[in-house]
C-alpha cells in the first residue's frame, strides 16, 4: 500500500492540501514557540526549521493557486515569502543581517495574498480583507512604539486572519469551477 501526495502543480489547486500544509505550519510554529518558552531553545529551533519548511511549501502552493489571478503578483508574493523564510531561518542561528526582520517580508506577503484573494473569483473577499489587515499589522511590528502598544491585538488579528484562511481551505476549499474559469481567462490573456 502506498500513499501518494498529489500537489497538483499544473491542474486545479488542491485547496485542502494547501489548508493541511497551513495547519502543519501552525502546529509546528506553536510547538517551536512552546519549546523556546520552556528554555528548550535547541528543540525550538529544530522545530522552527520544520515550520519554515512547511511555510515555504505553503508559499509554493499559494503561488500556483493564485497564479491565474495575477501571475506576476503571485510570483512577487512567493519571492517575498521565500526571502522572509530564509531571513527567519538565518535569524534562528543568529546569521541574519542585523535589524532585518522577517516581518519586513511577511507583512507585504500577507498584503499581496489578501489582494490576490480580493481579485480572485474563487475565495471570499472577506478573507482577502482579513489577510490585508494582518499584513498591515505585521508591518506595524517594525515600529517599536506601535508594536509595544498594540502587539497583542496585532498578533490576534494575524492569527485570526491566517487561521480563517487555513480553515476555509481545509473545510470549503476553493470554488473549483470559478478557479478553472479564471485560469482559462488568464491563459487566453497571455
SS3 38: coil
CB atoms < 10 A from the CB of 89, how many?
A: 20
Residue-wise pLDDT for 46-63, tens only, equals 999 999 999 999 999 999
**Average pLDDT in the chain:** 91
Residue-wise pLDDT for 103-155, tens only, equals 899 999 999 999 999 999 999 999 999 999 999 998 988 888 887 888 889 88
Q: What is the DSSP letter of 97?
A: P
Q: Are 62 and 25 in contact (CB under 8 A)?
A: no
User: Phi and psi dihedrals of 92, rounded to 5?
Assistant: -55, -30
pLDDT value of residue 12 = 67
pLDDT value of residue 22 = 97
pTM above threshold 0.85: yes
- Residue 71 grid cell: 501571475
The answer to whether the Cα torsion of 38, 39, 40, 42 is positive or negative is positive
Amino acid at each position: 500500500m502506498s500513499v501518494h501526495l498529489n500537489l497538483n502543480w499544473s491542474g486545479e489547486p488542491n485547496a485542502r492540501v494547501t489548508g493541511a500544509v497551513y495547519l502543519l505550519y501552525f502546529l509546528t510554529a506553536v510547538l517551536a514557540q512552546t519549546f523556546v518558552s520552556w528554555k528548550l531553545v535547541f528543540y525550538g529551533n529544530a522545530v522552527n526549521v520544520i515550520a519554515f519548511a512547511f511555510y515555504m511549501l505553503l508559499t509554493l502552493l499559494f503561488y500556483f493557486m493564485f497564479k491565474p489571478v495575477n501571475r506576476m503578483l503571485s510570483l512577487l508574493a512567493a519571492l517575498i515569502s521565500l526571502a522572509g523564510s530564509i531571513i527567519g531561518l538565518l535569524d534562528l542561528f543568529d546569521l541574519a543581517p542585523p535589524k532585518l526582520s522577517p516581518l519586513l517580508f511577511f507583512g507585504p506577503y500577507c498584503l499581496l495574498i489578501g489582494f490576490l484573494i480580493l481579485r480572485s473569483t474563487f475565495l471570499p473577499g472577506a478573507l482577502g480583507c482579513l489577510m490585508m489587515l494582518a499584513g498591515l499589522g505585521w508591518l506595524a511590528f517594525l515600529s517599536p512604539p506601535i508594536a509595544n502598544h498594540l502587539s497583542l491585538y496585532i498578533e490576534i488579528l494575524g492569527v485570526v486572519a491566517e487561521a480563517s484562511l487555513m480553515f476555509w481551505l481545509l473545510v470549503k476549499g476553493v470554488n473549483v469551477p470559478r478557479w478553472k474559469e479564471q485560469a482559462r481567462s488568464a491563459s487566453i490573456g497571455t
